[in-house]
Amino acid sequence: MRQRLISFVICFSLFVAGVRVSAGDSISAKAYLLMDAATGKVLAAKNETQRLPIASTTKIMTALLALEQPNVKERFCVDADAIRVEGSSMGLLPGDEVSLYDLAGGMLSASGNDAANAAAVRIGGDLSSFAQMMNDRAASLSMEDTHFVTPSGLHDDEHYSTVKDLALLAREALQNPMFRSLCSQSHVTLYYGNPPYYRTLMNHNRLLSSYEGCIGVKTGYTKTAGRCLVSAAERDGVTLICVTLSAPNDWEDHKTLLDRGFRASEPVTKEVDVSDVQIPVVGGTQQTITVRAASTLTACLSETEWQEIVREIECPPFLYAPVQKGDYIGDAVYTYRGNVIGRIPLIAASNTAYHEESPSFFDKILQFLKAHIRIPIG
């Protein structure tokens, strides 16, 4: 009886502490990782920092950089040399007119190596310069075990990443609305060619049609890398990111990991208290104004983890009167272990009218003289 009690206490303590999801021995991948997208919390992992070839999951970075450029829908003629590349293709031909948006769509659906090369040359001038841009962006995301050589993911011994780094990259990419839209469509319609015309490409990601709530992200395969897959799914306000590398049974691996993750992830919603925030008001009937949160904060965190949340107020140093109740003032930004988990709009909690100051005695004398005394001119 005592042994059972001790076992129960241990299990309960582990549950409260928020331990990782058990994946068991059923996962075929050499390396895998399951992450809560909102908090960046790792729910399950194996060999999470082992450097491995990543095949076409590379195109997550290439597509993201393409979509972060200005004028992404501006049309240009593809570089004829760049599109002469082996492997999967979106069907580009010399002389084709295309946009970076179309190329990103071609990468995220048909996994076009031609699209990746064309985008790289357009943005970086040449493949090696673009690879440096990829590595700089990786460094900015703390992808410490990643090195890019090609924009497409064709094998190179110095081209590698980890499941942890790919999860960080997917988390960033999904915050880009165009990237999120393109990678979540089972079929995407793009406009390119010579002359351009509309054509529809099928996404290689089977999970988009076979797993409830799937919103992307990217498949990959080379003989050396094996089957690689980065996926993301949403259910009941929870978004999970799953990465597998060298996974013979990747589709089932992802379904298993995502299912276990959703079962273990119960979002908690809390009211946002910003009663301590007061903004000075210039020229108002009140010297300061209080704010209130326009929404609540939801995250998959234990009570202990909630205590680690850090709040930062992003509001102007002062406001000019008048201020109306409900006016947008700024944001309360909540982070968990360096990851932004919520940006809550802050609105004015009351009205503050413009304060018209009474004229001084001297001003009143001047007003009287101007009104009653005519001073001859000339």
CA separation for the pair 85, 117 (Å, rounded): 8
User: Residue 142 in contact with residue 34, Cβ under 8 Å?
Assistant: no
Residue 364 assigned to a binding site: no
169 phi/psi in degrees, rounded to 5: -65, -45
User: Residue 216 in contact with residue 229, Cβ under 8 Å?
Assistant: no
Catalytic residue among 88, 99, 111, 152: 111
Residue with tokens 């040449």: 126
Q: Check if 59 is active-site.
A: yes
Distance of CA 73 to the CA centre of its chain: 21
CA separation for the pair 31, 52 (Å, rounded): 9
Catalytic residue among 56, 152, 246, 265: 56
Task: Give the residues across from 336 on adjacent strands.
Answer: 339
Q: Check if 111 is active-site.
A: yes
CA separation for the pair 70, 65 (Å, rounded): 10
Catalytic residue among 41, 59, 164, 255: 59
CA separation for the pair 309, 339 (Å, rounded): 10
CA separation for the pair 344, 59 (Å, rounded): 32
Residue with tokens 């709530």: 213
Single out the residue of 48, 29, 25 nearest to residue 253, CA to CA. Answer: 29
Q: Check if 364 is active-site.
A: no
Torsion over CA: 137, 141, 144, 147 (sign): negative
Pairing of strands 288-293, 339-348: antiparallel
Quick one: residue 338, left, alpha or beta (phi over 0 = left, psi -120 to 50 = alpha)? left
DSSP state of 284: B
- Which residues are identified as catalytic? 56, 59, 111
Binding residues for substrate: 218
Binding residues: 218
